Amino acid sequence: MDKEALVKAFHVDNEALVKGLHATIESLKKKGRDFFLVMLVPFEPTSNDLRLALLISASWLDNLSPKEALDEIIQEFLNVHANKGPETDSFFKKVGRITIIKSTDPFVNALTSAISVSDRATAYIGEGNINGVLIKQAIILAARNPRQKKSDKKDAIPRKLK
């Protein structure tokens, strides 16, 4: 299977999860909780494990303990998706790890400088190298550089990664 077909399969396999995460992101944004990065990557890219890791960066999470941050994200997901089978089932079946990344982390700055994803948009990466980190596949649901002012935000098309 070529790279384009793999990216498409990755997208289709995770469509319900992406839809559910977008709804959760929107719900939190309405509460004034914006994100710099929300990204899904394979849990173990070199194995046949189909679970995903959810990477999240937001300034409002920076001062919370890891447990508090995870509780906030999971509780909001459950609140938004109560009694909505596919999204909730998909989340708990497919997400094997949630990692909260400080908004000051160099990886967040590097990735969001290379890729900008506006509200309700989704970017799919087949393979790329971000600041020395090889990403085999990724679904990016939110990407806004922490150093960029909200008023400067533009709907950029993801640039080709080197």
Query: What are the boundaries of each domain within the chain?
Result: 3-147
Report pLDDT digits (tens) over 32-71. Answer: 999 999 999 988 766 666 789 999 999 999 999 999 999 9
Structural element, H or E, at residue 129: strand 128-130
Predicted pLDDT of residue 18: 87
Question: Is pLDDT above 80 for 9?
Answer: no
Bridge partners (DSSP) of residue 143 are: 37, 117
Query: Whole-model pTM?
Result: 0.80
Alpha-carbon gap, residue 80 to 82, rounded angstroms: 6
